[in-house]
Structure 1
Amino acid sequence: MKAKTRLTTHSFSNIFISLTLVFIFSFSTWSCGKDDPKEPMKEEMEEEMEEEVGYNYPEGKIFFDFPPMDLDGAYFYEPMGFMGVFPQDHGGFIHFEYGVDEPTTPIYAMADGVVTELGASGGDLFMTVKYSTTISGKLGHVGRFANFILDQTEPVIEGSPLDVEIEVKSGQIIGYISPLSALDIGIHDLEVADSKSFCYPELAYFENLYAADIFDYYKDENPVKAEFLSKNVRALPPYGGKNDFDVKGTISGNWYIKDKFEGKDQATNYFAIGYDHIYAQRIALLDGLPAHDPDIANTYSHSWIKGNNPKPEEVNVAFGIVKYELIPKRHVIKNPDGTYELYALDTIDDQIPRGVLLMQMLEPETMQLEFIADKTAMEVDGFTGNQRIYVRKPDYE
């Protein structure tokens, strides 16, 4: 795996632009024009995946022949697992043609299949390609669809995705990247749900529950796999990332605030702790309250743990209170010579913490937490009375 990726003449002019691109990728979500992102319901989507539409889909697992996009057009690939409302179910390519008026970098069908969905959201397009009876790929931040697709459909309207049946061949150009953001790609496999660690799978979106490691769908002898891996910024397996961190009876994984903040979006009522999607050994967390509430001044919502200990999967009811000192998470470095590389983390824990996050398991499926800003663990004795109570399975109406 390459430690650095050379940029071309299309390189960003400064780090601000590159970080903006990363921000857009990291917080992007699949949009189907619904108020509730869980609609259509998971069961309905499963039925649609299993329906026969006249195309002779191969059964079960298949292997891809082509990458999702022209790899020469990508700086790097960022795997799934970025902490969000459920760790993110898809990865994405940071590409050279950000801000270009009409990008020409192609998007490919990764194997023979059928385009089953076309949509528009936020100024970009998205599409779903079904490859087998159990496997589909969803592409977000598509700039434009290939002409042969447009010739077979009605106009795509924002918020009203189209159900289509357009056959495609392996390696066929099906679209082009967007100048507005990274190209997102999520692989969804109906056969991987049993391997996930979600305590309550019914709380997961369809895409979360069936998110699969894209690199598992390329054979080792296929040279595309090695080239694709060379663009990947994650150095440890699973190379395509991980989006399930629930460990029953511990603080690890997904949590919902017990007494819902009325009038706030779903993310505000959410907390997750697991591991970073790029630096897989680092404990990472998302606190939805400061991330989505402009009235809260601190910026600890996305953080790492100073000292990287104790591991969240080891913190149970018997453990008692854990004092996590929070430090900023890291992404990648843009060097003056026009390359990207991972941070060397040997001195990362030397920095002054943002504050202390107190966490305690009260019962096997209930915990409390409180963030105390601008303090160290030695300066914090315990909860101050401002803690919030979280549960694994909320009783929201």
Structure 2
Amino acid sequence: MKTFVFFALCLIFLSCAPIKTETLNNKNDYQETASQAYSTGLGNLCSTKKECIEYCKTNRGRCESYCRDKEIELCKLIFQEKPGDLGPQDNKGCKSTGTVTFTSPPMKIDQIELIEPIGLMIGGHVTPIDHGYYYAKNWIPGSNREDPSVFVDVLSPATGVVTSVQSMPQEYASSSIGDYRIVIHHTCSFYTIYIHVNQLSEKLQAIVDRGKTTKVEAGEMIGRAPGFDFSVHNDDITLPGFIVPETYSGEPWKLHNVDMFDFFEEPIRTQLLDRNIRQKEPRGGKIDYDIDGKLVGNWFEENSNGYEGKKEYQRGQGYWKTHLSFAYDGLDPELIIVSMGDYNGEAQQFAVKGNTPDPKDVDKTTGMVKYELVSFDYFTEEDKLWGRQTFAKIKKAYGNEHIDGTVLVQMLDDRKIKFESFPGKKASEVSGFTEKAKMYTR
């Protein structure tokens, strides 16, 4: 799924048209030097309090990247909170409770090339992803987002209150044009989240990064992009397959994911499912696989602060290095996937040679388990290899023959495992754990 790696590495913020933005050519442009540490500005970004406040209104992503984890009074003044800390979804301005029926698709039906459901594992998205993906026609997923002519309208699915419009940090920006995360509360507990919207409507541009709200109607254009992340959440429901909810305090909304198709009225629901490449039930995907006392599900390196990652990662790139998941493919749940945040220095996903043993059957009585790792691909319903760029109905995921490496895992207790990866080695070449083995918990 390498085609989608960059697009899928979405977190939470950015900067966008019609606001003028600057292209960052050198990351040192916003790095602090010793002499600047005590200045009245923000490094090379701006030099005075007034200048910085104005600059950060239109370049918030760069300012957040500079301020992250720094105790600078000007940063505190500009952001009023720690940059990058979303916390629970603020529902200020919402009305009513319960769910609503969506009467508009997020993207016009005739402009949709394909939809991917929740539950994929791609690159730094080590645990199953809590959002799906919409891709427009005439755009290659994961490719350049610098040409607005390929952008299409992003639509609100129902009436609601936009409670958050945040620009992505520089390191997660998908385009120099802009990149935003939008939350729409349709009731006080039922909301949709969009990520990687590259241009905002005039209405939303007026409130971006300012903590204000605005009402939108069903079908209203809220922005433009060639593709975007989309998810639906209901705070009145908590997924049962996250056995330690506190682990996800950094991204609490994922505990409340609901099916991304089920709330659309007909015929919209059927029309959207017709563009969904996943054919296996549940069509909307699944992200919560934890079973207490079993290997299946998500694990986090011991003393690494759960999903949020170690403090030194600052919730920036690399926070996923301490993540590990034994789950099932997001398009064909019959295929076991081992997803690692740090496999030979990179976040990678593999299928399992022989597709056994099933992690839901592995417990502390099983002893050491060796999984030989293989790459994987997909067959379409026409029994053709899927190219991963255009729509197809996925029939089956399968593991390839070449062994890329082996992992060794053992459940020590119901919520503790010992794990080690051996890149480039077959199972027959691995006799046991070494001093490099790590403990993971949940």
- Post-superposition offset of 1:229: 0.3
TM-score by length of 1: 0.78
Report the CA distance between 1:183 and its aligned residue: 0.8
- Structure 2-normalised TM-score? 0.71
Per-residue deviation, 1:354: 0.9
Question: Deviation of residue 114 (structure 1)?
Answer: 1.5
Letter in 2 for 1:73: Q
CA distance in 2, matches of 1:184, 1:262: 27
Residue type of the partner of 1:143?
N
Partner of 1:3: none
Q: Aligned pair in 2 of structure 1 residues 19, 73: CA closer, same or farther (>3 Å)?
A: farther
Mapped partners of 1:362, 1:139: distance in 2? 40
**Residue 356 of structure 1 aligns to a residue in which SS?**
strand
1:187 maps to a residue whose letter is V
Instruction: Verify the 8 A CA contact 1:31 1:37 in the aligned structure 2.
Output: no
1:244 to 277, 281, 288: 288
Aligned partner letter, 1:170: A
Determine which of 345, 357, 375 is the counterpart of 1:310: 357
Matched, 1:258 2:302: yes
C-alpha contact 1:38 1:206 (8 A) present in aligned 2: no
Could you tell me the percent identity over the aligned residues?
26
Following TM superposition, by how much is the alpha carbon of 1:251 offset from its aligned partner in structure 2, in angstroms?
1.3
The residue number in structure 2 matching 1:89 is 130
Partner of 1:109: 156
Aligned ranges 1:194-273 → 2 under 5 Å = 195-204=239-248, 205-219=251-265, 222-258=266-302, 260=304, 263=312, 265-273=318-326
CA spacing shift, 1:196–1:223, aligned 2, 3 Å: same
Q: How big is the alpha-carbon RMSD for the aligned residues of Structure 1 and Structure 2?
A: 2.8
Matches for 1:123-138 after TM superposition, within 5 Å: 123-138=178-193
Q: How many residues align?
A: 345
Residues 309-349 of structure 1: per-residue CA shift (max 9 Å, x gap): 1111111001111111111133685569x954366658x44
Distance 1:68 1:277 in 2: 21
> SS of 1:29's equivalent?
coil
Mapping for residues 142-161 of structure 1, pairs under 5 Å: 142-150=197-205, 153-154=206-207, 156=208, 161=209
Distance 1:81 1:269, change over 3 A: same
C-alpha distance in structure 2 between counterparts of 1:373 and 1:266, whole Å: 21
Aligned match of 2:236:
191
- 1:118 equivalent in alignment to 2:156: no
**Cα-to-partner distance string for 1:15-47 (whole Å, 9 max, x where unaligned):** xxx954x222322222386758983433xx3xx
| Structure 2: stretches of 5+ with no match in the other structure | 15-60, 69-81, 305-309, 380-384
Q: Which residue of 1 aligns with 2:18?
A: none
1:15 corresponds to: none
1:26–1:82 contact (8 Å) kept in structure 2: no
List 4+ stretches of structure 1 deviating above 6 A: none
Q: Distance in 2 between matches of 1:269 and 1:137?
A: 28
Q: Give the Cα–Cα distance (whole angstroms) in 1 for the partners of residues 254 and 342 of structure 2.
A: 21
The alpha-carbon deviation at position 190 of structure 1 amounts to: 0.4
Aligned residue identity for 1:163? G
Structure 1 300/207 Cα, relative in aligned 2: closer, same or farther at 3 Å?
Answer: closer
C-alpha distance 104-379 of structure 1, shift in aligned 2 (>3 A) = closer
Mapped pair 1:30 → 2:74: no
> Which residue is 2:211 aligned to?
163
